[in-house]
Amino acid sequence: MDLELANNAGLVLPILLVIAGVVLIFSAVKVVPQGYMYTVEQFGRYTRTLSPGLAFIMPFVDRIGHKLNMMETVLDIPQQEVITKDNAQVSCDAVVFTQIVDPVPAAYEVNDLIRAITNLSMTNIRTVVGSMDLDQVLSNRDDINARLLKVIDAATHPWGVKVTRIEIKDLTPPGDITEAMARQMKAERLKRAQILEAEGDRASAILKAEGLKQSQILEAEGRREAAFRDAEARERAAEAEAKATEVVSQAIAAGDVNAINYFLGLKYVEAFAKLASSPQQRTVIVPADFAGLVGAIEGVKALTDNVKRPAPDAPRPPGGGNPSPFATRG
């Protein structure tokens, strides 16, 4: 019986030693994932920091103190009511982007880092927004973000934290202020529309006036050209009449009675045509010396016949043939 117990004890002891060795190995080997850093504490005191990868610590002496996320982290700042400089109440929330750059202060300089950054952001939002008027708060969001970033980043620097960005997500004024702003915006847009419409009417009137001016200029130029053409036509008619008068005068001076008859008949015809074409004349009175008018017309006919009549032919030689160009006159 004692021999059997001794044999069993001899088998259990190696098993226990193997288990203890495995436990020691697992407690001494640590794997740090990418993007994280672990702090090592020896009997409760910080000694070193483990970087990503495989690391070894002293079993039962060293232990992992804090596991820190070194990647950029997004923190949602809860919504809060903020009173502006002109006593307007605004609902405001934000988002903060932070990153741990030094793991030791982040682990041992502040308790509950996330809560500390959240409360710090909320208090600074109240400070910055409360120092501005409502119109400035609603229109200068970039300025608010820049001021908050500068203040919060400086405050978190001793904690080993870098604030990369801070953005105001929502700024909501009270309902009555929102309605007043909507009415103001509508009035501004109506005013702008009326101004644009008035400018359009003004431009249209200017264009119409310019078009009327150009048409009047073209019409005046057309009348000027027509008057010039009419004057030129009258000048040429006067020249033609003067030429005809000169020719008739020369014919009269030469003793040609037909020329006198032609001249008088022409004047008779022109006067009679004007008398007959008058819109106020209903009765045409033939002059008493109508026979003289007929004689004048006959004189015109005789004059034109003399002009149109060909020259008399030369006398034909006996025999009825055509005269020879070499024939001699007797």
Q: Which CATH number belongs to the domain containing residue 161 in this structure? A: 3.30.479.30
pLDDT in tens, 219-275: 888 888 888 888 888 888 778 777 777 776 776 677 665 666 666 666 766 766 666
CA distances from 85 to 80, 128, 149 (A): 16, 10, 21
Q: Do 89 and 116 have their domain in common? A: yes
Contact between residue 71 and residue 99 where contact means Cβ atoms under 8 Å apart: yes
Q: Are residues 103 and 165 in the same domain?
A: yes
Q: Quick check: is 19 in a domain?
A: yes
Residue 225 falls inside a structural domain: yes
HSE (CB half, 13 Å, CA atoms) of 82? 30
Q: Domain check: are 166 and 88 in the same one?
A: yes
CB under 8 Å to 114, separation ≥6 — which residues?
Answer: 75
190 and 160, same structural domain?
A: no
Q: Torsion angle of alpha carbons 204, 209, 212, 218, nearest 10°?
A: -120
| Number of domain units in the chain | 4
> Residue 300: which H helix or E strand, with range?
helix 290-308
- CA-based radius of gyration for the chain: 63
Residue 84 and residue 117 in one domain: yes
User: What's the angle, vertex CA 229, arms to CA 228 and CA 235, rounded to 5?
Assistant: 90
Whether residues 263 and 292 fall in one domain: yes
Residue 306 near residue 257 (C-beta atoms within 8 A): no
- Determine the structural domain holding residue 168 and report its residue range: 73-173
Closest by CA position to 113, among listed 124, 125, 128, 101: 101
* 317 is a domain residue: no
Does the residue 325 lie in any domain?
A: no
Q: Do 114 and 206 fall into the same domain? A: no
Task: Answer whether 172's CB lies under 8 Å from 88's CB.
Answer: no
Average pLDDT per 10 consecutive residues for the chain, totaling 330 residues: 57 74 79 93 91 89 91 93 90 94 93 93 93 88 93 94 93 78 80 88 88 87 86 82 73 66 67 64 56 54 50 45 39
Which amino acid, one-letter code, is at 289? Answer: D
Domain identity same for 118 and 154? yes
